[in-house]
A and B are shown apart, each in its own frame.
Chain A
Amino acid sequence: GAVVSQHPSRVICKSGTSVKIECRSLDFQATTMFWYRQFPKQSLMLMATSNEGSKATYEQGVEKDKFLINHASLTLSTLTVTSAHPEDSSFYICSASRLSINYNSPLHFGNGTRLTVT
């Protein structure tokens, strides 16, 4: 089955620094990947849609200059949290599907990255 790998699983950083999170599709090409944020006991909130070879599409209220997304290849998307602050502490999850084959393929998720900003 499809597998999505996300790294790192946990990261602790100081306020003001930047953190990069990687999302890879391991056995299929993903022209589109999605980045979610999840707060404790809450559902997933879509942050942005990452498109290979083009700019990401951000959801309303998500700062594109703070959450930089790069989808440089068909198997890799990165999310960089720039100048992180404690309020950015959260669980970030990426997902991908075989959209290039079937627009309605289900999404498969990475195991998430727990970001703590001190």
Chain B
Amino acid sequence: QKEVEQDPGPLSVPEGAIVSLNCTYSNSAFQYFMWYRQYSRKGPELLMYTYSSGNKEDGRFTAQVDKSSKYISLFIRDSQPSDSATYLCAMKGQGGSEKLVFGKGTKLTVNP
């Protein structure tokens, strides 16, 4: 079993839809959870950064972490064509030597 599992998609939705992106993980030591958005031929852009369990909201984006289920989610409300990108989940344990572990990324297309 891989440390981080993420459905690669592709996921296609109409403009205005609510998008749900998810990752599961196996390492209970993970404490910090991130979502990155990557446009084609660009580096990943940090969207959300959360610590431990709970929800975090930033504009149209909501990140949820359920450590008991080892499951994290990113919700995008009122999706826009400009949200079309690959979304990568990433996570790490406590401490500076802990490496960031990425999911494979989910390719999202929002159709106008």
Chain A interfacial positions (CB closer than 8 Å to B)? 4, 6, 32, 34, 41-44, 46, 91, 93, 95, 99, 103-104, 106-112, 114
- Between A and B, 10 residue pairs with Cβ closer than 8 Å are A34-B100, A41-B8, A43-B104, A44-B88, A46-B99, A103-B94, A104-B92, A104-B95, A107-B100, A109-B44
Interface of B, helix, strand, loop or mixed by DSSP: loop
Cα distance A108–B99 in the bound complex, in angstroms? 14
Cα distance A109–B7 in the bound complex, in angstroms? 23
Given contacts A44-B88, A104-B32, contact A112 B43 (CB under 8 A): yes
* B101 smallest CB distance to A (angstroms): 9
Task: Determine the chain B residues whose CB is within 8 A of the CB of A106 once the complex forms.
Answer: 32, 34, 46, 49
Question: B71-100: which have CB < 8 Å to A?
Answer: 88, 90, 92, 94-96, 99-100
Q: Interface residues of B toward A: which range?
A: 20 to 34
* A101 smallest CB distance to B (angstroms): 11
Task: Determine the chain B residues whose CB is within 8 A of the CB of A107 once the complex forms.
Answer: 34, 46, 90, 100
Known contacts A93-B43, A99-B96, A114-B41; can you find 18 more A-B pairs with CB under 8 A? A4-B43, A41-B8, A42-B104, A43-B104, A44-B88, A44-B102, A46-B100, A93-B44, A103-B95, A103-B96, A104-B95, A106-B34, A106-B46, A107-B46, A109-B36, A109-B45, A111-B43, A112-B43
Task: Find the A residue at minimum CB distance from B97.
Answer: A103
Task: Determine the chain A residues whose CB is within 8 A of the CB of B32 once the complex forms.
Answer: 104, 106
Complex contact A111–B96 (CB within 8 A): no
Task: Determine the chain A residues whose CB is within 8 A of the CB of B34 once the complex forms.
Answer: 106-107
Of A42, A99, A108, which contacts B46 at CB under 8 A?
A108
Cα distance A46–B3 in the bound complex, in angstroms? 15
Complex contact B104–A112 (CB within 8 A): no
Complex contact A43–B43 (CB within 8 A): no
Task: Find the B residue at minimum CB distance from A41.
Answer: B8
Question: B1-47: which have CB < 8 Å to A?
Answer: 8, 31-32, 34, 36, 41-46
